Copies of this chain bind each other. A is one copy, B any other.
Amino acid sequence: MGAIRTDAGAASASPDAHPFDAAIRLAPDGDNVFVGESSPAYGNMIGPYGGVIAATLLNAARLHPSRAGDPLALTVNFAGPLADGLFRVVARPARINRSTQHWHVELAQGDGIAATASAVFGARRETWSSTEAAFPAVPRADQVRPRARMPGSGVPAFIGRYEFREVYGGFPDFAKPSEAEDSGSCLWTRDDPPRPIDYLSLASLADIFYPRIYRRRGRWVPASTVTLTTYFHADGAALDRQGDRHVLGVARALRFGNGYADQTAEIWADDGTLLATSFQLVYFKE
């Protein structure tokens, strides 16, 4: 990777931008190339929160002048660590069809690729529709208490950028280790401060669940997402209806073993519209 030109202003967010928009901001730096800078506001244990990396990769395809339509699917592969600082994103169309587009995106820092993605964009049109997944029977968001701020200096910054109203399967209390019978979690969540939802923040919310292995083992375990796939079921009208209110997230794992676990998740609008389904494979050391 050559020298990064920083004159394009990728690093400086406008003072009134939402921190999420500041974190995923990209500045064009030639054909197919964008420059961004990781935001300490969304820091995780090591490097930025994966959801923001996913949204940044999606944003590169979205900003490309050849992009048409809305996101349908996104797969992000977390290939290596991303340090605080500048990075470069290359987004190029693998194929542009009449109604769908296939994009390949790579995020690099220094000499190494930190993440790759494929994104499918396309036109939505009205068709026969049916939702087979069931919206869970849960209390409304305003009836669920927000998770208290976690104590201690080791809490990743990104935790403060989301609101967590946990219906069940809340973040384990590592001071009182106890194994859970199943890996399921359900919560109302949204950006903090609130921000009207769009495909970018939805891509990030798909990764909002803590590793399922924490819940089954009842304690902290080294774990990190290897690959994350999200299908966007929402059309623009569904996102507009939702605005900045809480969405419902549901997640569980189907299988743990040989150092890897999966996670399957749903993100629902509060009117019962299924906004996205998401899947990830997680490395764990146990």
Contacts and interface: CB of A to CB of B under 8 A. Distances in A.
Interface string A220-237: 000000110101010100
A277 interface: yes
**Which range contains the number of A residues in contact with the other chain?**
35 or more
A126 interface: yes
A188 to B, nearest CB: 20
Interface in A42-79: 72-73, 75, 77, 79
Contacts of A183: 132
Report the copy number of this chain in the oligomer: 2
B279 A279 contact: yes
A113 B128 contact: no
B235 A258 contact: yes
Interface of A: 72-73, 75, 77, 79-80, 94-95, 97, 100, 102, 104, 106, 112-114, 116, 118, 120, 122-133, 182-183, 216-217, 226-227, 229, 231, 233, 235, 252-260, 262, 264, 266, 274, 277, 279, 281, 283-286
